[in-house]
Structure 1
Amino acid sequence: MGLSTVTYLFDGEMLHRDSIGSYQVIKPGDINLMVAGRGVTHSERERPEITAREHRLHGLQLWLALPEQYEQIEPAFYHIPSADIPSANVNEVSVRVMIGEAYGVKSPVPTLSETLYVEAQLDSAQELTLPTTEELAVYIVSGRLNSEGKELAARTLAVLKTEAHPVITAQEPSHIVIIGGNALGNRFINWNFVSSNKERIEQARKDWQNQRFDKVVGDEDEFIPLP
């Protein structure tokens, strides 16, 4: 409730189902955007034919805050295939603009506030000047970076200053994602419920306990108790 989930895979595949009837296999390079709004139930699971063989699963699922005026909108689901995600070459650095606009290209993924989500592959010693947004961070999927004299290791999320265009330098071949956008104020979080209003979260907890949320279409048999 009150957020969006952004699912992006580097390896493997996942099947998304939800209570508004979405049924979508996500593969590397695709973007799945689920807008929870007033409330949605969903599942991401591997299909039996995937789990039956040796495989690798690697990806990120980010939580994207909704502006206050959109926290209670109707839930929605968007799937944008890899072929529709624009790419660019920035001083020999390969980038994909998954959400938002940067480096002269714009993603078709819908947004409710200014949002930035970019994937980049850097060779050793390559530099990349990052876009400027109100909030900005870089996550190192693999490799090692240097930013303003600080070394950033793999699986580190670094929140960066945005007064000037930050520059990152790869200390070795590195795979990164750049995350940013407008500041959206404070939020309360309880389990999978996010809101600017504590009372709304308490109501969602009661609704979940009493199973008043809609069921996942095609995956209705399992109920996860409220922690």
Structure 2
Amino acid sequence: MAVTGGILVLFLVAHMVGNLKIFLGAGDFNHYAEWLRTAGEPAVPHRTVLTLTEVVLTLAVLLHIWSATSLALRARAARPVKYESRKKSHARGYATHTMRYGGVIIALFIIWHLLDLTFYAVNPLGSSATPYDRVIADFAPDRWYITVWYVVAVLLVGLHLWHGAWSAFNSLGWRTKRNDGFLRGLAAVLAVVIAGGFVAVPIAVTFGWVG
């Protein structure tokens, strides 16, 4: 769970940095999108690095879901009787109690995101436009509901990441009584930075700051 989560966090950071290139203009953003497909050439064929990355990410997501399900079933089997009070549970806070449902929403968001900007099935401009133009069309002011959907999903990703990062620190044996507060703060900062970076793009496009 912690290892696959770490892989996904690294991807989120890299993806966020790439997305923020939209603030540098159409040329830089389109060049970045093209680089994703040509990375490694001519040493390896076109799109090889991107395809391998997609395979690793797919395996990480599937293993992450399998780990979450396995842990939930083991926890239920270990304590079939519910806690008399939520305060007695080691699971703490709103983030903990929404991890399961938030994970489902995040999964649906990933499917929509792939259909939108990878397969272009639900993008207004389809495959004929540039990556920059597709993003601008996606979050146009008249499509504010797409922006709302994106922002809500990303905030859930941030919530998931906040709890997940701290849990990973704990699972890997890094947490002690002395550094507990620091690690919780680090998890919160990581979640805020990543969620904020992703949310910045649709909001900027919708309000006309980019485009």
Q: Tell me if TM exceeds 0.5.
A: no
By percentage of residues, which structure has more strand? 1
TM-score, with structure 2 as normaliser: 0.24
Greater RCO (CA < 8 Å, at least 6 residues apart): 2
TM-score, with structure 1 as normaliser: 0.22
